[in-house]
Amino acid sequence: MEFTAATIAGFLKGEIVGDPDIKVNTIAKIEEGQTGALSFLANPKYEHYLYDTKSSIVLVNKSFVPSAKVGATLIKVENAYEAFASLLRLVDQSRPRKKGIHATAIIEATAKIGSDVFIGPYTYIGENCIIGDGCSVYPHVYIGDNTKLGNNCIINPGVKIYHDCIFGEGCIIHAGTVIGSDGFGFAPQSDSEFMKIPQMGNVIIEDHVEIGANVTIDRATMGSTIIRKGVKLDNLIMIGHNVEVGENTVMAAQTGIAGSTKVGKNCMFGGQVGIAGHIKIANGTKIGAQGGILGDVKEESTAIIGSPAIDVKQFLRSSVIFKKLPEMKVKIDSLEKEIESLKKK
């Protein structure tokens, strides 16, 4: 598709600096710009690319003032990053969507399929399932008995959804993810063996949740594992049984949450965060990459990092000391020798 600067500025309610009739038909990073491409500049570290970029149009913040001549047409908006994201969404939504049910799909007779859906090749939909209007279920997806998908969900190739799971509207599940597999429940026996505890619960995923590729979300032992509305999970995340993740919480890749932990709303977790079981994380908590959480985080909107995690400011002060430990060790050894010498005298 092709758009003029005037069309883009109209959609974004932006101000044009340059040629309103110039056209773009692709997108590119500002450092990799080419004729006919749209780019954006939000991070000041990338400003130097603006003066040499070959991109035809660049989105910038309204407050931005160039320090040299710019060859591209600029569109000034309130927030260049958000504006670029909204344009990408517009382009994505304008793409033609597949519809219809492929002949190789297996759909049990008791399943209910909504209107305007796509069900791809070699997909299985179990007994008493409900697939909402406008859903897209791509090839090789397995959907177990009694599972319900709300309207306009997208289930990407190879996703496996076990029985009795419930999804809200507008959910996106990426390839290879497994939802509703058994929680890690085993009871130790007197002979040192472990007896499997049946996992009788389910998984509930509320509206507008997006889950990355190769994520696993375990069903509850009893009750439900719950992912609240607006949650965004990166790839390769593990959510244990009976966990509850609060609204609009985001987690980066390789985060792991042990069973029965309750995560508040509006939290942000960096990559490889590990959270112990049966604890509570307060609303608005921010955990830095590789943070290890062993106990409750009670105070809301705190930022912590490290393993075990501590307040970010404390961690940074401690980091300064960590670097000096070898030097401090030499000084301590020297002082110990002096003290021993003085004792002998």
Give the residue numbers marked as catalytic.
Answer: 241
The answer to whether the beta carbons of residues 114 and 151 sit under 8 Å apart is yes
* 139-142: Cβ within 8 A, 24+ apart: 139/102
Residues 153 and 141: their CA atoms lie apart, in Å, by 13
- Asked if 227 contacts 247 with a C-beta cutoff of 8 angstroms, the reply is no
- Locus of tokens 């069309």: 7
List all residues 6 or more positions away from 134 whose beta carbon is below 8 Å from its beta carbon: 114, 115, 116, 117, 151, 152
The closest alpha carbon to 178, from 164, 163, 166, 161, belongs to 161
Strand extents, DSSP E, 66-176 = 73-77, 100-101, 106-107, 112-113, 118-119, 124-125, 130-131, 136-137, 142-143, 148-149, 154-155, 160-161, 166-167, 172-173
Q: How far is CA 181 from CA 25, 108, 109, 220, 309, in A?
A: 44, 21, 24, 9, 30
Q: Are 199 and 219 in contact (CB under 8 A)?
A: yes
* Residue 26, amino acid: T
197, with CB counted inside 10 A (0-12, 13-18, 19+), is middle
Cα torsion angle, 138, 237, 201, 192, sign: positive
Q: Please say whether the beta carbons of 74 and 17 come within 8 A.
A: yes
